Amino acid sequence: MVSASSVALHIAAISAMTYGYNALHGLPINAWIDTQYGGHFQFLTIQGLAVAWLTMVFGLLEDIFSLKTFRAIKRGLLIVALPTATIVSSIYWTLLLGAPHLIVQKMPVGSGETPMMLPLRIDLALHAVPGLALLSDFMIFERRYGRNAIQFLAPALTSICTLWYGWWVELCASKNGTFPYPFLTLNPFDIRLRIYAAAGIVACLSFYTLNALHPRP
């Protein structure tokens, strides 16, 4: 039986995330980002947004068609999307409120630079909606993950994603001359490696914690 609440959540999340990404292309910063190697996808925010969007899409397909294939794909994506969104939201909002110069990139304007501050509605669509939607979906409409997923799949996928983004962002920075996030630009390579490792560990631990707190075994 189709859950109207689940359908509503998935449609709302898909719509909000689609709006957030499309709205980026109408901002003055888009012209500068398009000149950068990797474009918008050098940002972990956008990669996390893409995985979260796909998770919601397959969740909606499962709502409509009730196929086990869609459910399996959605749950596989959720293992990546939920911890990624947790890391993105926690790091972004903490630094934005406490040390914005470490997270807000600057865009060249004339002979100077100006911070790339996002309008609040776009900021929320990119940095709040994915995490809130995924958490709500997981806690309300999903069951917790079993032992094999927790012991093997989650750490394996987290490690792969951590290695991927570490390699990708280093490649982009080597071509652009700067990292998409100032706190990476300000740190040497060995510290950046520790940042990537710490983010991966926290992401995995956050997934373990959320799974343990899940009300439905």
Residue 98 has pLDDT above 70, yes or no: yes
Average pLDDT for residues 49-74, to the nearest whole number? Answer: 97
- Can you tell me which residue has the tokens 């439905």? 216
- Can you tell me which residue has the tokens 């500068």? 32
The SS3 of residue 107 is strand
DSSP assigned state of 146 = -
Residue 171 contacts residue 184 (beta carbons within 8 Å): no
Confidence of residue 1 (pLDDT cuts 50, 70, 90): low
What's residue 119's pLDDT?
94
Average pLDDT for residues 40-64, to the nearest whole number? Answer: 97
Count Cβ atoms below 10 Å from residue 39 Cβ, excluding itself. 13
**Global confidence as pTM:** 0.95
Q: What is the maximum alpha-carbon separation in the chain?
A: 60
Quote the CA–CA distance of 150 and 156 in Å, as a whole number: 10
> Which is more confidently placed, 216 or 112?
216
Count Cβ atoms below 10 Å from residue 199 Cβ, excluding itself. 22
Quote the CA–CA distance of 88 and 53 in Å, as a whole number: 15
Lowest average pLDDT, out of 46-60, 76-90, 93-107, goes to: 93-107
Quote the CA–CA distance of 83 and 132 in Å, as a whole number: 12
What's residue 166's pLDDT?
98
Determine what percent of the chain is predicted with pLDDT higher than 90: 88
Tell me how long the chain is.
217
What's residue 32's pLDDT?
86
Quote the CA–CA distance of 187 and 74 in Å, as a whole number: 36
Determine what percent of the chain is predicted with pLDDT higher than 70: 97
What's residue 106's pLDDT?
81
Quote the CA–CA distance of 146 and 185 in Å, as a whole number: 39
Average pLDDT for residues 176-182, to the nearest whole number? Answer: 94
Mean pLDDT of the chain: 94
Residue 109 has pLDDT above 80, yes or no: no
What's residue 121's pLDDT?
96
Which of 64, 58, 24 shows the shortest CA–CA distance to 134? Answer: 58
